[in-house]
Amino acid sequence: NAGVTQTPKFRILKIGQSMTLQCAQDMNHNYMYWYRQDPGMGLKLIYYSVGAGITDKGEVPNGYNVSRSTTEDFPLRLELAAPSQTSVYFCASSYMGPGGAKYNEQFFGPGTRLTVL
Amino acid sequence: AQTVTQSQPEMSVQEAETVTLSCTYDTSESNYYLFWYKQPPSRQMILVIRQEAYKQQNATENRFSVNFQKAAKSFSLKISDSQLGDTAMYFCAFMTYNQGGKLIFGQGTELSVKP
pLDDT tens figures, B32-43: 999 999 999 999
How many contacts (CB atoms, under 8 Å) link A and B?
Answer: 66
The whole-angstrom separation of Cα B77 and Cα B107 is 15
Binary contact (A101, B106; C-beta < 8 A): no
Q: Classify residue A2 by burial, with Cβ atoms within 10 Å: 0-12, 13-18, 19+.
A: exposed
Measured in degrees and rounded to the nearest 5, phi and psi for residue A98 equal -55, 140
**Is the distance from CB of B69 to CB of B60 less than 8 angstroms?**
no
Q: Is the pLDDT of residue B17 over 90?
A: yes
Q: Is the pLDDT of residue A100 over 70?
A: no
Bridging pattern class, strands A31-37 and B10-14: unpaired
- Residues 14-73 (B) with a CB less than 8 A from some CB of A: 31, 33, 42-45, 47, 50, 52
A63-77, B8-22, B91-105: range with lowest mean pLDDT: B91-105
Average pLDDT over residues B15-27: 97
The whole-angstrom separation of Cα B98 and Cα A7 is 30
Binary contact (B44, A42; C-beta < 8 A): no
Q: What share of chain A is helix, strand, coil (3-state, %, to 5)?
A: 5, 50, 50
Rounded to whole angstroms, what are the CA distances from B35 to A29, A67, A72, B66, B115? 20, 28, 26, 10, 28
Average pLDDT over residues B47-67: 93
Work out the mean pLDDT of chain B and round it to a whole number.
94
Count CB atoms within 10 A of the CB of residue B52.
14
> Shortest Cα distance from B16 to chain A (angstroms)?
27
Q: Which residues contact A66 (CB under 8 A, 6 or more apart)?
A: A34, A46, A47, A49, A55, A74, A75, A76, A77
Predicted pLDDT at A96: 81
3-state secondary structure A2-32: CCEEEECCEEEECCCCCEEEEEEECCCCCEE
Instruction: Categorize the per-residue pLDDT at B56 as very low, low, confident or very high, splitting at 50, 70 and 90.
Output: confident
pLDDT tens figures, A74-94: 999 998 999 999 999 999 999
Count CB atoms within 10 A of the CB of residue B75.
28
Binary contact (B43, A111; C-beta < 8 A): yes
